[in-house]
Structure formats: structure tokens, C-alpha cells
Structure 1
Amino acid sequence: MIEHQYDPDRDDDEHPPEGPSKSQIKREKLALQALAERLAGMPRAELERLKLSQATWAALDETARIKDMRALGRHWKRIANLLEKEDMAAVHALMDQAGERERELNARHHALERWRERLIAEGDAALADFIEQRPEVDRQQLRTLIRAAQRDTERGRPDAPRKLFRYLREVTDAVED
């Protein structure tokens, strides 16, 4: 073992360390572990677009049977090590697409929530605006759901507002398909 002694005359600026720092390596490893965790949670049909090695597939498939949190932590490290050997450009592209889809779904969900809240609060005025945007909607059914949601909201019950939300989602899904 070589011991390094302090040398006041030595200038470390002349000999900068080569490669990334230990901290940078650790950050990259942690990012890969987080990526491994996200990949394991994705549907297999999406992952099949990646050309992953057999070892990586086996590790991803093994994830479901691991229950212990400490073992799961080691498992993410194992998958992260396997991912280092994969085509990371394709993996990141897939994750970007999944992130974009998730953002779109969240935006759609929030828009439907705003419509529900507006329909409950404003009643017929908001109903006219909604029908103007979605003329194919069953007006009578929507009006009935709004009235029930208004009553349940006053009583502090969540059932009718949920039914109204589901109906709004069905109407928008039918139009978008």
C-alpha cells in the first residue's frame, strides 16, 4: 500500500484527477437505479421495443417475486449494472415517450376535474358551455348526473361526483377514439 504524504510544494492543479469524481459516479449510479425502478414498473409490451439482453430481461422478470425492501434495493443496483451495458439512448427515448404520455394523461384528468367542479358549481351555465364543446353528449343524462352531484356535494358524499367524472371521461374517450 502506498501512502501519500502531504507535500506543500505539490501543485494539484498541474495534475487534475482523470475522469468523473466519486460523487458524479455515485449520482450516475443512483440515477440508473431510479431508471431501473421505473423500467420495472412499465408494461412489458412497451419494454419489448427495447433490445434488452437476456440477463436484463431475467432481472426485470425477477422483480415481481422480491418482497424484502433491502433485497429490492440490491435488485435495483443489479438491474442498474445490467443497464449500463444496454443501449441507453433507446432506454431514455422510451422513458421520454412514457413521460410525455403521462403528462398528457394528467393534463386530461385535470381538465375533466375542472369541468366536473365547474358543472357542479355553476349548473346550467356550465352545462351549456360543455354541450357547446361536446354536442354529442346525452344532455338529459348529464343534467341528471349534475343534479345528483350537486346534492351529494352538499351532503359531503362522493358517489355522484365520481359518477359525473366517469361519465365525462367516457364522453371524451368516445370522441377521441
Structure 2
Amino acid sequence: MTEKYMAYLEVLESGEEVIGDIHDTDVYEWAMAPFVSLLVELAPPPECGLKDIKITLHEHQFPEFFVFELDIIDKKLRPRRVVAETSPVRPSFVTFDDDFLDDLETWTALYDPAGIVLSFKDPEDARFKPLNKVLIDDCRTECFFKPCNFGVQIRRELGTY
């Protein structure tokens, strides 16, 4: 098991897709296989069709997350869940002070992220494509979406209006 692990680790660390006869996809399948039952239990497939799934901006920015570790005991892969209070990955976003938001609200409407629904032509696109449209007003109004990743840039941009 140690030899296999080290060979697979070499593929991942190299950034190459193939080293010898080991493909990076082989490594991913090997590493993920022990977690499948945990993932299905913690995040089961949706009961509705893909087209009926509604994800809010709040859920997108602060998704439910799970942290796992994979141990090798007696040459067997042993997955386990690690309880974590904070996500190992946090989205990049900008916060604004109250005065800035008060001024902003004098000329535009502010919406609660829990009331903003992500909009994609194909639900599968939500996994791979950047978000560029959202729905507001109970999904009656479609708007363009632009993330606020850099405070100085977005303040300057909003200030021009």
C-alpha cells in the first residue's frame, strides 16, 4: 500500500497527467472511492430534477462543507469525517462599512443574498462556469451578476455611478 501511495503522490505532486502507466484520474478514483458512501450519506442526490434545484447566493458563498481524512490502517483505506467549525476554503469577497452601504442604498436597491437565486441555462453549468446571472423578486427578474473581489476596484466602480 505504501508503494502505491508514494507512486500516486508522485503523480499528484508532479502536475503531470501521466507518469509511467499511472494516470492522474487513477489517483483520483483510488482516493475518492472510500469516501463515496460518506458523501452519499451526507449529501444525498436531490429528490427533485436538476432543473428544479434553486441555489441562493448565500448558499453559493457559504456552502455546507465536510472535511475528511483518509488513513491507511493494516493496508486498508479508512476514510473518516473530521468535524470542523470553519471551512478550509472561504470565498473571496469584499465587505463594506455601514456609511458606504447607506450611501449606496440612496440610489440603488440592496438584496439579501438568501433571496437571490443563481441562474444558469443548464444546471450542470453551475459546477464549472462562473456565475454571471441571478434572479431576484421571487425569480421574476433576471440580473447580471458581478462578484466583488477587489475592494478598491469595486468602490471606484460604484463611486462612478
Same fold (TM over 0.5): no
Q: TM bucket by the smaller chain?
A: under 0.3
Question: Which has the larger Rg?
Answer: 1
TM-score by length of 1: 0.22
The structure with the largest strand share of the pair is 2
The structure with the largest helix share of the pair is 1
